[in-house]
Amino acid sequence: MELSDNDMEYEGDIRVYLSHHYDGTGRSEIGTDALAVQAHSPTMLLGTSYSSPRFEFTAIHEFGHALGLMHAHQHPEANIPWDKEKTYELYRQKFGWSRAQVDLNVFPLPRDASRTYAAYDRHSVMHYEISNEYTLGDWKQTENPHISAADIAFIRRIYP
Ligand SMILES: [Zn+2]
Protein backbone atom coordinates (compact mmCIF):
# COMPACT_ATOMS: atom_id res chain seq x y z
CA MET A 1 0.00 0.00 0.00
CA GLU A 2 1.21 3.48 -0.88
CA LEU A 3 1.34 5.85 2.08
CA SER A 4 0.02 9.37 1.61
CA ASP A 5 2.04 12.32 2.94
CA ASN A 6 -0.44 12.56 5.80
CA ASP A 7 0.03 8.91 6.83
CA MET A 8 3.82 9.20 6.68
CA GLU A 9 3.66 11.99 9.20
CA TYR A 10 2.48 9.44 11.80
CA GLU A 11 4.68 6.53 10.75
CA GLY A 12 7.07 6.47 13.75
CA ASP A 13 6.72 3.93 16.58
CA ILE A 14 7.67 6.70 19.04
CA ARG A 15 5.64 9.87 18.43
CA VAL A 16 6.71 12.83 20.57
CA TYR A 17 4.43 15.69 21.53
CA LEU A 18 6.42 18.73 22.63
CA SER A 19 4.57 21.27 24.70
CA HIS A 20 5.65 23.69 27.35
CA HIS A 21 2.06 23.81 28.65
CA TYR A 22 2.59 20.83 30.95
CA ASP A 23 4.58 22.38 33.82
CA GLY A 24 7.77 20.48 33.15
CA THR A 25 6.32 17.00 33.36
CA GLY A 26 6.68 14.23 30.81
CA ARG A 27 5.29 10.80 30.16
CA SER A 28 5.92 7.95 27.78
CA GLU A 29 4.54 4.57 26.93
CA ILE A 30 6.85 1.81 28.23
CA GLY A 31 8.67 0.03 25.39
CA THR A 32 6.42 -1.84 22.96
CA ASP A 33 3.27 -0.60 24.75
CA ALA A 34 3.68 2.31 22.29
CA LEU A 35 2.61 -0.02 19.47
CA ALA A 36 -0.88 -0.23 20.99
CA VAL A 37 -1.38 3.57 20.87
CA GLN A 38 -3.66 4.90 18.11
CA ALA A 39 -1.69 5.94 15.03
CA HIS A 40 -2.47 9.65 15.29
CA SER A 41 -1.79 9.97 19.03
CA PRO A 42 1.56 10.74 20.65
CA THR A 43 3.34 7.99 22.58
CA MET A 44 5.46 10.48 24.51
CA LEU A 45 4.86 13.90 25.99
CA LEU A 46 7.73 16.26 26.78
CA GLY A 47 6.18 19.06 28.81
CA THR A 48 9.19 21.35 28.77
CA SER A 49 10.60 23.87 26.33
CA TYR A 50 14.06 23.45 24.79
CA SER A 51 15.31 26.32 26.91
CA SER A 52 14.27 24.73 30.21
CA PRO A 53 17.14 23.48 32.37
CA ARG A 54 15.07 20.29 32.81
CA PHE A 55 14.65 19.59 29.08
CA GLU A 56 17.66 17.24 28.84
CA PHE A 57 16.65 15.25 31.92
CA THR A 58 13.02 14.99 30.78
CA ALA A 59 13.96 13.89 27.24
CA ILE A 60 16.50 11.27 28.39
CA HIS A 61 14.19 9.99 31.15
CA GLU A 62 11.18 9.63 28.82
CA PHE A 63 13.27 7.95 26.10
CA GLY A 64 14.43 5.55 28.83
CA HIS A 65 10.74 4.62 29.30
CA ALA A 66 10.36 4.31 25.50
CA LEU A 67 13.25 1.80 25.55
CA GLY A 68 11.36 -0.18 28.17
CA LEU A 69 12.87 1.13 31.42
CA MET A 70 10.78 1.55 34.55
CA HIS A 71 11.51 4.01 37.38
CA ALA A 72 14.61 3.29 39.45
CA HIS A 73 12.97 4.66 42.61
CA GLN A 74 10.22 2.02 42.18
CA HIS A 75 12.73 -0.85 42.20
CA PRO A 76 11.46 -3.56 44.59
CA GLU A 77 14.72 -3.29 46.57
CA ALA A 78 14.94 0.51 46.60
CA ASN A 79 14.08 0.66 50.34
CA ILE A 80 13.42 4.40 50.27
CA PRO A 81 12.00 5.41 53.68
CA TRP A 82 8.95 7.17 52.20
CA ASP A 83 6.69 9.30 54.33
CA LYS A 84 3.76 7.93 52.31
CA GLU A 85 0.94 10.17 53.53
CA LYS A 86 3.06 13.29 53.07
CA THR A 87 4.15 12.10 49.61
CA TYR A 88 0.53 11.57 48.50
CA GLU A 89 -0.27 15.08 49.68
CA LEU A 90 2.79 16.71 48.05
CA TYR A 91 2.10 15.08 44.64
CA ARG A 92 -1.57 16.07 44.92
CA GLN A 93 -0.56 19.70 45.52
CA LYS A 94 2.23 19.77 42.93
CA PHE A 95 0.68 17.84 40.01
CA GLY A 96 -2.92 17.12 41.05
CA TRP A 97 -2.11 13.40 41.15
CA SER A 98 -4.50 10.90 42.73
CA ARG A 99 -3.23 8.34 45.24
CA ALA A 100 -3.44 5.71 42.48
CA GLN A 101 -1.17 7.83 40.24
CA VAL A 102 1.36 8.16 43.06
CA ASP A 103 1.22 4.39 43.66
CA LEU A 104 1.80 3.80 39.94
CA ASN A 105 4.65 6.30 39.45
CA VAL A 106 6.38 6.81 42.77
CA PHE A 107 6.16 3.96 45.30
CA PRO A 108 7.91 0.57 44.91
CA LEU A 109 6.34 -1.94 42.55
CA PRO A 110 6.32 -5.65 43.38
CA ARG A 111 8.90 -7.82 41.64
CA ASP A 112 7.47 -9.09 38.34
CA ALA A 113 8.88 -12.33 36.89
CA SER A 114 8.30 -11.05 33.34
CA ARG A 115 10.69 -8.11 33.86
CA THR A 116 14.50 -7.90 33.77
CA TYR A 117 16.14 -6.22 36.75
CA ALA A 118 19.48 -4.59 37.46
CA ALA A 119 20.54 -3.69 40.98
CA TYR A 120 18.84 -0.61 42.44
CA ASP A 121 20.70 2.52 41.21
CA ARG A 122 19.89 5.80 42.95
CA HIS A 123 22.00 7.65 40.34
CA SER A 124 19.93 6.38 37.39
CA VAL A 125 18.36 8.95 35.05
CA MET A 126 15.18 6.90 35.70
CA HIS A 127 15.19 8.00 39.38
CA TYR A 128 13.03 10.90 40.54
CA GLU A 129 14.45 13.67 42.65
CA ILE A 130 13.32 12.97 46.19
CA SER A 131 13.75 15.72 48.72
CA ASN A 132 13.97 15.15 52.45
CA GLU A 133 10.39 16.28 53.05
CA TYR A 134 9.10 13.13 51.25
CA THR A 135 11.02 10.73 53.47
CA LEU A 136 11.33 9.72 57.10
CA GLY A 137 14.66 10.52 58.71
CA ASP A 138 17.51 11.83 56.58
CA TRP A 139 17.13 10.46 53.04
CA LYS A 140 17.14 12.38 49.77
CA GLN A 141 18.25 12.01 46.18
CA THR A 142 18.93 14.76 43.66
CA GLU A 143 17.78 14.53 40.04
CA ASN A 144 20.39 12.93 37.79
CA PRO A 145 20.40 14.78 34.46
CA HIS A 146 22.75 12.30 32.79
CA ILE A 147 22.68 8.59 32.06
CA SER A 148 24.50 6.73 34.85
CA ALA A 149 27.17 4.06 34.29
CA ALA A 150 24.65 1.46 35.51
CA ASP A 151 22.01 2.80 33.04
CA ILE A 152 24.49 2.27 30.18
CA ALA A 153 25.41 -1.24 31.40
CA PHE A 154 21.73 -2.20 31.72
CA ILE A 155 20.76 -0.89 28.27
CA ARG A 156 23.71 -2.82 26.78
CA ARG A 157 22.48 -5.96 28.56
CA ILE A 158 18.87 -5.71 27.32
CA TYR A 159 19.84 -4.53 23.79
CA PRO A 160 22.88 -6.74 23.10
ZN1 LIG B 1 9.19 8.48 34.41
Domain boundaries, the chain: 1-65, 69-160
In this predicted structure, the answer to whether residue 33 has a pLDDT above a threshold of 60 is: yes
Q: How many whole angstroms separate alpha carbon 118 and alpha carbon 17?
A: 30
Contact yes or no for 116/125 (Cβ under 8 A): no
With bands split at pLDDT 50, 70 and 90, how would you rate the model's confidence at 39? confident
In this predicted structure, the answer to whether residue 81 has a pLDDT above a threshold of 60 is: yes
CA of 62 to the centre of ligand 1 (A): 6
In this predicted structure, the answer to whether residue 3 has a pLDDT above a threshold of 70 is: no
pLDDT at 9: 62
CA of 123 to the centre of ligand 1 (A): 14
CA of 95 to the centre of ligand 1 (A): 14
CA of 27 to the centre of ligand 1 (A): 6
Q: How many whole angstroms separate alpha carbon 150 and alpha carbon 148?
A: 5
Supply angle C-alpha 65, 148, 52, rounded to 5: 65
The pTM (predicted TM-score) of the whole model is 0.88
Q: What is the mean pLDDT of the chain?
A: 91
CA of 61 to the centre of ligand 1 (A): 6
Closest to 59 in 3D by CA, of 149, 147, 148: 147
CA of 11 to the centre of ligand 1 (A): 24
CA of 4 to the centre of ligand 1 (A): 34
**Average pLDDT value for residue range 133-154:** 95
